[in-house]
A = this chain, B = another copy of it.
């Protein structure tokens, strides 16, 4: 049980200032006082800290014609390091190298065998390849983050990953001993949600639900300014919500699950029944873009079912937005009308605040970007709970 000591507060405030600079661009200390809500003296100390670390550069601004001392602008020095994000899926590994502010610099993709060792070797090779491509050494890597399609413990262990066929794998530990930089590992959909709050469409949103579709349908809840995982880590696992009584059989053994209608192969199977040989979301999206009416019909039906699940989520959680992400993104434009139709029809708490359903800023790459988000947290020495906006910026007292 960790205590709320001064060093922790300093880390928190350093992160607040860093994020303010990252999101809002270069700023003077006075502007940072406004955007972070910190005391000028604190900003001054944090600014010195960041200067000493070499993370920010200071440039004297010329006079702007106004009275008063001209400000000294702080800016993140993106050249002093990179973040590495990665994603493990069954059979595939993706790597994304970005600047310290999350701008992409290099990507890599490769296929891996089914064992943990295979995957880790491939991942390590991919990271080396991506770094080599842009001539960046490990001395410039500030942190690595990895998104995994599995139920994770808080310490970065894979508790159970049915798609990968893994159980009880100390992933964070194994990667940390391989690399000498901070390593963060988390569930892929949670990571995608994190990326959305750090870099994407949910940047100023405190309450949203992330729904990511790849081989399965995953959900993550970001509530009250932080990820919510539930008492056993299952919160937001909406792939097996029942949407059709006695409906199609699902891989989980039950019937009528959302996944049995919206997952990639489920959608492909449904289209195959109607004479369309389209195996991937990408191919289905292309056909939809071409105006294939059968494809459009199937997507509309799937969208209506997704809308039913979203309606239930909205009724219970009252989120500000719902973000759709992952490979599913390829077909989202043709799901959305049915989703919104169903939502308007079914989610009708008598006097409800309005919820928007939007597509992720990163589309299919949301999870890989999530790896970068995990890396950024790790680079700032910030465990997830510290990003809690309530703890960081409490509202006025009652």
A residues apposed to B, CB below 8 Å: 1-4, 8-9, 12, 37-39, 151, 154-156, 160, 162, 172, 184, 206-207, 221, 223-224, 226, 228-238, 240-242, 252-254, 312-313, 315-320, 346, 348-353, 355, 377-378, 381, 383-386, 388, 390-398
Task: Tell me the complex Cα distance, A3–B312, Å.
Answer: 37
Flag if A394 contacts B2 (CB, 8 Å).
yes
Q: A1-B37, A397-B2 are in contact. Are A315 and B223 (CB under 8 A)?
A: no
Contact assessment for A317 and B350 in the assembled complex, using a CB-CB cutoff below 8 Å: no
Cα–Cα distance between A208 and B75 once the two chains are bound (Å): 44
Please, how many angstroms separate the alpha-carbon atoms of A232 and B238 in the complex?
A: 23
Q: How far is the CB of A158 from chain B (nearest CB, A)?
A: 14
Where chain A touches its partner, the secondary structure class is loop
Contacts of A317 in B (CB 8 A): 221, 230, 235, 316
Chain B residues, Cβ within 8 Å of A1? 37, 393-396
Contacts of A207 in B (CB 8 A): 230-231
Can you show 28 pairs from A to B with CB atoms below 8 A apart? A1-B37, A3-B38, A4-B9, A4-B394, A154-B398, A184-B398, A223-B223, A223-B228, A224-B228, A226-B390, A229-B318, A230-B317, A230-B319, A231-B319, A232-B352, A232-B353, A233-B353, A234-B352, A234-B353, A237-B318, A238-B316, A240-B349, A241-B315, A313-B316, A316-B317, A383-B398, A385-B395, A391-B391
Separation of A224 and B385 alpha carbons in the complex (Å): 10
How many copies make up the complex?
2
A230, B270: Cα distance in complex, Å: 36
A35 to B396, CA, bound (A): 29
